[in-house]
């Protein structure tokens, strides 16, 4: 039977295949044995065999070939497992959307942020949240932009704020908010670089550096500056508070969004230096459009909008 006809059987059979059937097929495929699968599914072997047989009659296709090796899934069974995983994710998303749509009372909004957001914007947002008598809760996780996109796709978080470039944002996401900041160099007072108003990457790379890995969103901006210099830090550190302590007490250098160092620059503890070409750090808020329509998510986005700009 062709792939097209197998797909048609799956579509026609959706009204007779439920989540428990998909789980049953998946377990049998993984263990390769009716007896072992029956044990895992907490049912007798005859009962499981009958369920498989009835399902094969409904879809009018064999789901397993029986041989000395055991139960081997057919192409139809593999298709059901593959499509079933997407179905399980979609059902989970629907349940979450209904939960969020209910009202602003109870429940938890799951927010994912990048490390820099955690240090610049998130404290302000959480203080604003604490000042209001909201009846819902928020939970926050910090991870890389790749991790945020994956978790948002799976429905593990409700919105993500991080340094996403336009070409890595899936079409399924909306990006209602954005912000940017100039990347600057920070060194201790009295550092040898302090006599330079602008720092080339070549002179920057002569000193040991402490910084996060460079986000993909900055890649195209720094190409013209790179030349033969290396941007790989000697200490990879997402926590800029720790990075500030290191550079304030050594000849290490760092670079990051200017707002991260505002108080240290104002006090004179650290010295701000600029690159010869302006390099910007960009940040966007991502959310699924359906989720954005729910009142509780809209309220959380409104809190973030006080510190980010609306995208037009």
Annotate 81-127 with DSSP letters as a single string: HHHHHHHHHHHHHHHHHHHHHH-SEEEEEEEEE-HHHHHHTHHHHHH
Q: What's the rounded mean pLDDT across residues 144-165? A: 90
**Which CATH code for domain 180-281?**
3.40.190.10
What secondary structure letter does DSSP report for 189?
T
Is residue 101 very low, low, confident or very high in pLDDT (cuts 50, 70, 90)? low
Q: Which residues contact 62 (CB under 8 A, 6 or more apart)?
A: 56, 74, 76
Q: Which residue from 167, 149, 103 is spatially nearest to 288, judged by alpha carbons?
A: 149
Beta strand pairing status for 159-162 and 280-287? Answer: antiparallel
* Domain range 3-89, CATH class: mainly alpha
Q: Which residues contact 89 (CB under 8 A, 6 or more apart)?
A: 154, 155
Is residue 126 very low, low, confident or very high in pLDDT (cuts 50, 70, 90)? very high
Given a contact cutoff of 8 angstroms between Cβ atoms, the answer to whether 76 and 58 are in contact is: no
pLDDT score, position 203: 81
How far is Cα 176 from Cα 289, in angstroms, rounded to an integer?
Answer: 9
pLDDT in tens, 174-208: 999 999 999 899 999 999 998 877 787 778 888 89
How far is Cα 163 from Cα 144, in angstroms, rounded to an integer?
Answer: 9
Domain residue spans of the chain: 3-89, 98-176+283-310, 180-281
Q: Quick one: 98-176+283-310 is in which CATH superfamily?
A: Periplasmic binding protein-like II (3.40.190.10)
Instruction: Tokens for 101, please give them.
Output: 């749509």
How far is Cα 284 from Cα 164, in angstroms, rounded to an integer?
Answer: 6
> Same topology for domains 98-176+283-310 and 180-281, yes or no?
yes
Q: What's the rounded mean pLDDT across residues 156-171? A: 89
pLDDT score, position 219: 47
């Amino acid at each position: 039977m062709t792939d097209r006809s197998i797909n048609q059987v799956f579509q026609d059979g959706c009204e007779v295949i439920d989540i428990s059937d998909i789980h049953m097929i998946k377990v049998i495929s993984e263990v390769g044995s009716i007896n072992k699968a029956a044990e895992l599914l907490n049912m007798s072997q005859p009962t499981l065999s009958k369920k498989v047989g009835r399902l094969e009659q409904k879809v009018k296709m064999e789901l397993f070939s029986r041989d000395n090796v055991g139960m081997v899934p057919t192409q139809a069974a593999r298709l059901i497992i593959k499509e079933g995983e997407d179905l399980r994710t979609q059902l989970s998303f629907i349940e979450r959307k209904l939960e969020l749509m209910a009202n602003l009372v109870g429940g938890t909004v799951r927010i994912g942020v990048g490390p820099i957001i955690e240090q610049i914007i998130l404290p302000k947002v959480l203080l604003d949240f604490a000042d209001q008598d909201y009846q819902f809760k928020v939970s926050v996780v910090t991870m890389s932009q790749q991790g945020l996109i994956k978790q948002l796709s799976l429905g593990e978080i409700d919105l993500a704020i991080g340094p996403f470039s336009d070409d890595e944002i899936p079409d399924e996401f909306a990006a209602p908010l954005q912000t940017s900041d100039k990347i600057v160099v920070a060194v201790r007072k009295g550092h040898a670089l302090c006599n330079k108003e602008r720092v080339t990457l070549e002179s920057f790379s002569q000193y040991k550096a402490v910084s996060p890995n460079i986000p993909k969103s900055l890649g195209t901006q720094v190409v013209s500056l790179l030349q033969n210099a290396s941007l790989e830090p000697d200490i990879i550190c997402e926590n800029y508070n720790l990075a500030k302590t290191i550079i304030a007490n050594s000849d290490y250098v760092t670079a990051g969004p200017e707002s991260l160092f505002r108080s240290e620059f104002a006090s004179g503890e650290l010295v701000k230096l600029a690159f010869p070409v302006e390099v910007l750090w960009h940040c966007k808020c991502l959310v699924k459009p359906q989720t954005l329509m729910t009142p509780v998510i809209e309220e959380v986005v409104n809190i973030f909008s006080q510190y980010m700009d609306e995208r037009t």
